[in-house]
Amino acid sequence: MAEHVILFTGPMGAGKTTAIEKLSEIDVVRTEAANTERQVADKATTTVALDYGEIVLDDQDKVRLYGIPGQRRFDFMWTILKERAKGMVLLVHNDADDPIGRAVEYLDEFADLYAKGGVVIGITRIDIAPGPSVTDYAAALAVAHPDKIVPIYTVDPRQRDQMRTLLMTLVANIETRDMFVERVPQREELVAE
């Protein structure tokens, strides 16, 4: 059975914990504490260390789901979890301040994960804020990260099927890339020939 470690990143209130709760087939380990920043995200609690859940896709891929805290003051956890992960689900809520700017910022911060495996973006809370559109995000990312092709979807993290599709897209991308890397002769082999 293949195993993948996937990080859920994004600003405070984007829906990372909600998504992991929906996807996980085990009881989720949560580290919620009272939210003292209600002006940033109007909800009772916030993640202070990590979320952890697991799901098996198609009986063959075990996916370990890690959610990071959205608040920057807990970003020491980002560094720890970044090392372990192979891919990232970046969730950005469309009603955030400058949501496109936040998406670019997270892609900058976690660029290693793009190189290691793959990244997919889910824009959330579009029922609350319908714009900006997927096209607006794509245009901004093409300028900020012209070397990256990142799939962008709109999702509602409260809907399990939507999150499952997003996750399966990411895992398929990672596996395709792994296969390609295995097949392409490495530089040392070419030198030896």
Among residues 4, 6, 15, 106, the one that binds ligand GTP under rule CB under 6 A? 15
Nearer to ligand GTP, 61 or 104 (CB): 104
Which pair of structure tokens corresponds to residue 49?
A: 């260390």
# binding residues, ligand GTP (CB under 6 A): 22
- The yes or no reply on residue 22 touching ligand GTP (CB under 6 A) is no
- The yes or no reply on residue 161 touching ligand GTP (CB under 6 A) is no
Specify the amino acid at residue 4: H
- The yes or no reply on residue 65 touching ligand GTP (CB under 6 A) is no
Among residues 70, 87, 99, 117, the one that binds ligand GTP under rule CB under 6 A? 70
C-alpha 6/C-alpha 82 separation (Å) is 9
Q: What is the DSSP letter of 128?
A: T
- The yes or no reply on residue 122 touching ligand GTP (CB under 6 A) is no
Which pair of structure tokens corresponds to residue 56?
A: 């098996």
CA 68-71-72 angle, 5° bins: 100
> Which pairing describes strands 2-9 and 87-93: parallel, antiparallel, or unpaired?
parallel
C-alpha 96/C-alpha 56 separation (Å) is 32
C-alpha 108/C-alpha 2 separation (Å) is 28
- The yes or no reply on residue 162 touching ligand GTP (CB under 6 A) is no
- The yes or no reply on residue 160 touching ligand GTP (CB under 6 A) is no
Nearer to Mg ion, 42 or 59 (CB): 42
Residues of the shown chain interacting with ligand GTP in the complex, contacts defined by CB under 6 A: 10, 12-18, 41, 43, 46-47, 67, 69-70, 124-125, 127-128, 156-158
